[in-house]
Amino acid sequence: MATGSLTVSARGGSLTILSPAKLNRFLHIVGRRPDGFHLLQTVFEIIDWYDHLTVEATTDGRVERIDGPQDIGPDQDLCVRAAKRLQRLAPDRGCRIRLAKSIPQGAGLGGGSGNAAMVLRTLNELWGLNLDATALADIGTQLGADVPVFVRGVSAWAEGIGERLTPLPFTSRRYLVVIPGISTPTAPMFAHPDLPRSTAPMTIAAYLSGAPTQNDFETLACRLYPGIAEARMFLSPLGPTRLTGSGSALFVENPPAHVNAFMAGAPLNWQWKVCNSMQIPFDSVYGLPPELRAS
């Protein structure tokens, strides 16, 4: 699917949208800033594994989460934080947020970052702010390094802490994405002393020409979480596997036609899905009926 549409349904002052996941096609850690943040190079690719997000605009100045993950309090929820951050530009506006999760948490698929970005994009429309992609992505950077790529909605080369994006030509790809019954918290993975932090930087041209890449978290993740190593071994007959983000999800690009039959033999606690690369260009959320725009 080359281009996705954010809008699932719309009525009155609310929108129900699809909030996608992402893969890191590779992830190199090339250094560290003085403040401790890691410098990386990666390629983000958006995939069609979705959460469902409903955002209702209100005029009472309150940001409320009506439904969402039970293990994440409203104050820590990136959706709520995104709405409150954007609300600084429209203090009299409010919203109610409902989130139905499908993308597993702690898997390196960026579900929470995608949710935050989709709240920004949707409220930008419903509140009539008309911020451009750059302005909205700058707000997203304050919420998390993965948020801007979802704001812009296209495959991208990323540098810095992940916020410096260069759009890449869209390529239609098919993936098997597998979460092997494990969650890997991001912060401890970045803090681990054995994480490689000196991979040589590469250029976009080198990547596009097929230069070798890797995920610098993968060896560490396999050592700390044997289930990830076991999943890599299980999936190896399908082709090369790679970790996304800091884990725990693994993916196989262009899996063979018998992938569904093969995965029938996977452990019951694994989650898996055959996904397609996609893009949701920033302006695809525009063109909504006039009654959906805040006055």
Would you please indicate which residues are annotated as catalytic (active-site) residues?
A: 22, 146
32 closest CA partner among 182, 168, 276, 195:
195
Residue 200, burial from CB neighbour count under 10 angstroms (0-12, 13-18, 19+): exposed
Q: 63-67 and 94-100: which strand pairing?
A: parallel
- Three-state SS string over 69-119 comes to CCCCCHHHCHHHHHHHHHHCCCCCCEEEEEEECCCCCCCCCCHHHHHHHHH
8 Å CB contact between 52 and 37: no
How many other CB atoms are found less than 10 A from the CB of residue 289?
8
- CA nearest to 50, candidates 78, 9, 4, 19: 19
Q: Convert 86-99 to b/e letters by CB count within 10 Å (16 or more is b).
A: bbeebeebbbbbbb
Q: Which two tokens stand for residue 161?
A: 């802490």
Q: Which residues contact 271 (CB under 8 A, 6 or more apart)?
A: 104, 178, 179, 181
Question: Any idea of the CA torsion for 188, 190, 195, 196, to the nearest 10 degrees?
Answer: 180
For 14, residues 6+ apart whose C-beta sits below 8 A from its C-beta are: 54, 55, 56, 57, 96, 126
Cα gap 163→149, rounded to integer Å: 8
Whether 49 and 109 have beta carbons less than 8 Å apart is answered as yes
